[in-house]
Structure 1
Amino acid sequence: MTESSRAAVTWRFRFAGDKVSRVLNWRSDGPPDLARVVPIRKPRSSERHRHIPVTAYSLTMRDHLELESGLEHDLLRRLDRLNDIVALIPQPCQLKRGGSSSAKNTPDLLSLDDTGAVTLWNARLPHKMDDKFKLQVAMVEAACANVGWRHEVFNGLDRVERLNLLWLHGYRRRPSWYDQVAGEIGKEASNDAATLGSLFRLDTGNGEAIAVVWHMVWSGELDTNLSKRLTMETPVRAGLVA
């Protein structure tokens, strides 16, 4: 066993009301109160940090989140529509391992689901996954496993899925007339032969049913394959995204 693999990992969090971050001792302090965890740093762009910060609204959090890049925004768009996700925190903590081969990483996003499961996410495109990043990932994965959390690397979306989510992003908010047409849409979607076209044909010409269909696809009330191009022939069925 090498010195670096024996070295302990330090977890650092910043909590609401604190001016600075502080080290959390899992053994004595227990797990962090996620309701009080706030971003440990503010995204910025500079000569050394060439990310393009993004301020994005999250329906899960009912608030704007400050992200470091468009790739993180893609991750947010994917997670924000999942019905089992109850909390999303950008830049939630910093992990650091000492020893001769030290490693340090600030995960890009934390997600909490309705079972209490916590996942730390690092967003990185495949061609940018260098040896330094792989060392960081190994450290974070091991540290998460030790405390009952999970770690995932998000390496982007396929072009079609990304474009579909960008389109659906415009229909996140439930229309005020939702209750007037959602029942009929849901009934049609229970038909095994239901398609986007058959649902759109329920529209009376004012566009209200079409808008609700798109919202129901975004929310997962209507299930379809977003990895393929959406057309009038795209199969749709009733369901929930999870």
Structure 2
Amino acid sequence: MEALSRAYGDEALTAFELDFLSNGERRKHALGSSWQVPFEAVEPVRPFRWDKGTPGFAGWYYSVTVRDHVGYESWLERDRLILLDKDPQVRAISSQPFWLHWHDGERRRRHAPDYFVRLATGQARIVDVRAEDDMDEDTRDAFAATQRACSSVGWEFEWAGRPEPILMANVRWLARYRRARCGRPAAVVERLLEAFSEPRRLWDGAELVGDRIQVLPVLFHLLWLGKLKVDLSGGLLETGSLVWAEGRRQWAG
């Protein structure tokens, strides 16, 4: 860590370089001259593949935020991607957006952050995903360098570890109903919002609206969107889970 501060001082804009792909063309520029690139629209700097006998589970997740597939290199990255997709403050996501190059005082280093996120405010955020028990010194140093680079240009940096298990299990379930087609017909949406204008058990509110086979996918879609609310960390979703409409109090009275 001390080597990082000695190496960079206040010269991060030139000490770091960004190496990225835009329209199929490889580009490499100093951080100070490239930080305004819309990295939410660039291509991944390395492929997402899963070779037999190698660790990791790479793949592609369809993001309703981006309306396209976004790559991941592990189940943990996929879970973080699902959480980003559900976050109403997130407007765009790209994976492996660039290689960050720097010299740590002893040798040249590079690191490809996991996600570039654009928030509704226009703020940029870099997200690196790694479980605490999977962190080694090189990774910690790489994350520290990435945070230093982000701070120098006003980006946020987030190190994301393992999410809370119950929360993640519930959000994974709701993600099955994230696509817009699950939010139809509109009449069912309106009746559900009315049914849960006061807190009710999930099963009871669905039954008030109609056939559960038709109603439940719409209900789960509204929970994904946040138009209906439930305590996602308090326990696994079940028929007795208390649900209420957005803007209403969780507990009546």
What's the TM-score, normalizing by structure 1?
A: 0.88
| C-alpha distance in structure 2 between counterparts of 1:155 and 1:30, whole Å | 26
| C-alpha distance in structure 2 between counterparts of 1:178 and 1:74, whole Å | 29
Query: Which residue, 131, 135, 147 being the options, matches 1:129?
Result: 135
Q: Secondary structure at the match of 1:236?
A: strand
Within 5 Å, give how 1:182-193 maps onto structure 2: 182-191=189-198, 193=199
CA deviation map 1:108-167 (0-9, x unaligned): 111111111111111111211111111111111111010010111111222222221221
Query: Which residue, 213, 226, 231 being the options, matches 2:219?
Result: 213
**Equivalence for 2:60:** 55
* Cα shift at 1:48: 9.7
CA deviation map 1:57-102 (0-9, x unaligned): 1111111122111111101111111222111100011112212154
**Equivalence for 1:37:** 42
Within 5 Å, give how 1:142-221 maps onto structure 2: 142-174=148-180, 175=182, 177-191=184-198, 193-205=199-211, 207-221=213-227
Q: Does the 8 A contact of 1:61 with 1:87 survive in 2? A: yes
CA-atom RMSD in angstroms = 2.3
Q: Secondary structure at the match of 1:139?
A: helix
Please tell me the residue identity of whatever aligns with 2:244: R
Please tell me the residue identity of whatever aligns with 2:194: K
Within 5 Å, give how 1:79-158 maps onto structure 2: 79-98=84-103, 99-100=105-106, 102-158=108-164
| C-alpha distance in structure 1 between counterparts of 2:179 and 2:208, whole Å | 20
* Cα shift at 1:184: 1.6
Normalized per residue, which structure has more helix?
A: 2
Query: Which residue, 192, 213, 225 being the options, matches 2:231?
Result: 225
CA deviation map 1:45-66 (0-9, x unaligned): 4599622211211111111122
| C-alpha distance in structure 2 between counterparts of 1:46 and 1:130, whole Å | 24
Identity %, equivalent residues: 27
| C-alpha distance in structure 1 between counterparts of 2:243 and 2:98, whole Å | 39
- 1:72 matched to 2:74? The reply is no
Please tell me the residue identity of whatever aligns with 1:65: V
- 1:238 matched to 2:239? The reply is no
From the superposition, tell whether residues 48 and 15 of structure 1 become closer, same or farther in structure 2 (CA, over 3 Å). farther
| C-alpha distance in structure 2 between counterparts of 1:83 and 1:38, whole Å | 23
Number of positions where the alignment pairs a residue of Structure 1 with one of Structure 2: 237
Gaps of 5+ in 2: 9-14, 248-253
